[in-house]
Amino acid sequence: MVSSLLYDLPTSETYRVVFMRRDIEEILDSQEKILQRLGKPVADRSAIRTAFEVHLKRLMEWLPNQKHLNLMELSYIELLTNPRDEIARLNLFLGGHLDTETMVASIDPQLCRNRSAAANN
């Protein structure tokens, strides 16, 4: 789900939100490659980065005040580099009924094609 849609979830229900954190430069690299592949114009990187940072700041200030939303943050790079521990945390957050071994086995670090230099250290 796109994070901007969290604002529209009905407050009459309760939700567990798993928020995946990923390096902004990796996200921008990925988005630019998709747009280029589709033959679409690439937006100004600086403007997109600023808009995304403003959105995240606003969202992370708003989320703790939402009684109908339970939040867990996961790091994309941690999930790739330390999947067993991250999936164990996710399993606990979601009630403890996940097939964690199958989940661990499904992670393919080779699919991370836009890893930033910071994430490689």
In tens, the pLDDT along 13-56 reads: 999 999 999 999 998 998 899 999 999 999 899 999 999 999 99
In tens, the pLDDT along 60-95 reads: 999 999 999 999 999 999 999 899 999 999 999 999
Task: Tell whether the torsion through CA atoms of 66, 50, 78 and 102 is positive or negative.
Answer: positive
Q: Please give the model's pTM, rounded to 2 decimal places.
A: 0.78
pLDDT in the model for residue 108: 82
DSSP character at residue 65: G
Distance CA 3, CA 49 (A): 15
User: In the chain, what are the domain boundaries?
Assistant: 14-111
Secondary structure in 3-state letters for 8-44: HCCCCCCEEEEEEECCHHHHHHHHHHHHHHCCCCCCC
